[in-house]
């Protein structure tokens, strides 16, 4: 009986292995992913991984409060979970300066993760070619930049927030940068309302077709700042609370609710040395990222080995699933040498020299307490003409009186 039971267990593991391998091939875009194609094959420890998978899935569901409506859905998500364990192993090989593994997104297929949390849309350069709503920032000197800057430690960054299932990263990153700018202008950190942008910023760009702020269905930082400037500012988060969805109406009655406003905003071209210079001078910056290994990221410095010629989809279609732009916030950097924009593409060398500290909007359980790090050069490596945006906040009268007293 013991021998029969042992044989049944081995057979079950073999069948699970076959099913998970087939599932990998069935995930939309997985086998065609140019990042995955660069990774070497399994190191032969797949059996051990499968033996631990069921326990890991149980722990995963408990840790992240995951429940599924039917046993069929639970079984399906277990198959996805196994596939993502393999994906994490591949990403670890491809991205050795970070730690990859089980995350809150481990029950989502790569396609589901992209659609729900990375969004899709036009690249920054395509928007800038057509948009007249923003000017380019002048070049700043970079030869005397400090070796590090951390606006979180300096009190300019609010606690990590969680956008949930709302595709509102554009609102969260835009607000975080304004919070930092308001702190620099008024020496007061105020938690501002993302929900106001989600409900009220509904403009479409007259120059760029299909470029609109659509609440929890996506938006763009440029339109967010245009709205804030035209509306006269943003309310406190406690006065206009985040609901995780669109309320269907704009709940702003008058300008007395506005506690932070914008005097100016500009974009910075694809130059990470300039990003560093403006971060030191103006505070946190908002950028879009294009890093496919981020689904399995746990900690460390993201610096994946990538082939830029195949990593970026150059299509002009706004509906393509491959042009994903997740808006995040640069809040600091660390540099072991003086920053030089030498376009060094050796990952280990880049990691040792420079990394960015980035605030995300996926909650404090994700990554490094809601933050992650990216090696220097990666932000501009594979996106054609990406931009960062800085904001200058208006000084409020109460702050002026306090500063002069």
308 flagged as catalytic: no
| Domain-embedded: residue 271 | yes
The 10s digit of each residue's pLDDT in 267-320 is: 999 999 999 999 999 999 999 988 889 999 999 999 998 666 655 444 344 333
β pairing state of 326-335 and 285-289: antiparallel
Q: Tell whether 200 is covered by a domain.
A: no
Contact 224, 170 (CB under 8 A): yes
- Are 390 and 136 spatial neighbours (Cβ–Cβ below 8 Å)? no
3-state secondary structure of 232: coil
Of 100, 182, 220, 326, which one is the catalytic site residue? 326
The CATH number that applies at residue 297 is 3.90.70.10
Residues 279 and 320 reside in one and the same domain: yes
Query: Angle CA(164)–CA(214)–CA(132) in degrees, nearest 5?
Result: 125
- Looking at the fold, whether 160 and 52 belong to one and the same domain comes out as no
Q: How many domains does the chain have?
A: 2
pLDDT for 39 equals: 30
Asked if 313 and 374 sit in the same domain, the reply is yes
Instruction: Tell me, yes or no, whether 394 lies in a domain.
Output: yes
Pair (131, 6) in one structural domain: no
Strands 234-235 and 258-260, sheet pairing: antiparallel
Catalytic residue among 84, 91, 169, 375: 169
141 and 21, same domain (yes or no): no
169 given a catalytic annotation: yes
Same structural domain for residues 66 and 153?
no
Active site residue 343: no
Could you tell me if 78 and 178 lie in one domain?
A: no
Same domain for 130 and 54 = no
CA–CA separation, 33 vs 286, rounded Å? 27
Using the CB atoms, write b or e for 279-298: b if 16+ within 10 Å. bbebbbbbbbbbbbbbbbbb
Cβ atoms of 329 and 286 within 8 Å: the answer is yes
Distances (CA, A) of 11 to 7, 27, 76, 124: 6, 25, 20, 51
Say what the pTM is. 0.82
134, 87: one domain: no
**Candidate from 18-27, 110-119, 281-290, 336-345 with smallest mean pLDDT:** 18-27
Q: How does strand 234-235 pair with strand 354-359?
A: unpaired
**Would residue 62 count as lying in a domain?**
yes
CB within 8 A of 48, min separation 6: which ones?
Answer: none
> 371-375 and 234-235: which strand pairing?
unpaired
Residue 385 lies in a domain: yes
Asked if 152 and 80 sit in the same domain, the reply is no
- Domain contains 139: yes
233: left (phi over 0), alpha (psi -120 to 50) or beta: left
Residue 83: inside a domain = yes
Asked whether residue 196 is assigned to any structural domain, the reply reads no
Asked whether 178 and 260 are in contact (CB, 8 A), the reply is: yes
The share of the chain scoring above pLDDT 90, in percent, equals: 57
Exactly one of 216, 288, 360, 382 is catalytic; which is it?
360
Burial 200-228 (b: 16+ CB within 10 A, else e): bbbbebeebeebbbbbbebbbbbbbbbbb
Quote the percentage of the chain above a pLDDT of 70. 71
Whether residues 87 and 128 share a domain: the answer is: no
On whether both 120 and 89 belong to a single domain, the answer is no
- Domain containing 396 equals 116-167+174-189+261-404
């Amino acid at each position: 009986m013991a021998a029969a039971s042992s044989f049944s267990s081995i057979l079950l593991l073999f069948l699970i292995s076959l099913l998970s391998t087939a599932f990998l091939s069935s995930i939309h875009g997985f086998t065609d992913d140019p990042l995955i194609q660069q990774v070497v094959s399994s190191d032969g420890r797949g059996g051990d991984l499968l033996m631990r998978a069921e326990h890991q899935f149980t722990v995963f569901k408990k840790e992240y409060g995951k429940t599924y409506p039917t046993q069929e859905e639970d079984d399906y998500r277990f198959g996805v979970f196994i596939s993502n364990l393999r994906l994490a192993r591949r990403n670890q090989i491809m991205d050795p300066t970070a730690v990859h593994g089980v995350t809150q997104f481990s029950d989502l297929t790569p396609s589901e993760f992209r659609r729900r949390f990375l969004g899709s849309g036009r690249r920054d350069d395509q928007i800038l070619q057509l948009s007249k709503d923003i000017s380019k920032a002048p070049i700043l000197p970079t030869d005397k930049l400090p070796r590090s800057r951390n606006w979180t430690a300096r009190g300019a960054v609010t606690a990590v927030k969680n956008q949930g299932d709302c595709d509102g990263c554009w609102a969260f990153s835009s607000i975080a940068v304004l919070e930092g700018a308001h702190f620099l202008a008024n020496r007061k950190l105020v938690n501002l309302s993302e929900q106001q942008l989600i409900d009220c910023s509904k403009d479409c760009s007259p120059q760029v077709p299909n470029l609109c702020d659509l609440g929890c269905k996506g938006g763009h930082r440029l339109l967010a700042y245009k709205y804030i400037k035209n509306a006269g500012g943003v309310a406190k988060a406690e006065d206009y609370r985040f609901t995780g969805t669109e309320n269907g109406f704009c709940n702003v009655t008058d300008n007395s609710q506005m506690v932070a406003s914008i005097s100016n905003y500009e974009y910075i071209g694809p130059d990470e040395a300039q990003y560093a210079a403006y971060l030191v001078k103006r505070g946190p910056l908002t950028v879009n990222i294009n890093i496919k290994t981020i689904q399995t990221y746990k900690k460390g410095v993201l610096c994946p080995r990538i082939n830029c010629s195949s990593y970026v989809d150059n299509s002009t279609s706004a509906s393509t699933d491959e042009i994903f732009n997740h808006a995040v916030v640069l809040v600091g950097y660390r540099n072991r040498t003086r920053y030089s924009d030498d376009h060094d593409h050796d990952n280990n060398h880049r990691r040792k020299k420079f990394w960015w500290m980035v605030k995300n909007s996926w909650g404090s359980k994700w990554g490094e307490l809601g933050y992650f790090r990216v090696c220097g050069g990666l932000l501009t490596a594979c996106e054609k003409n990406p931009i960062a945006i800085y904001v200058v906040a208006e000084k409020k009268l109460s702050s002026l009186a306090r500063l002069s007293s």
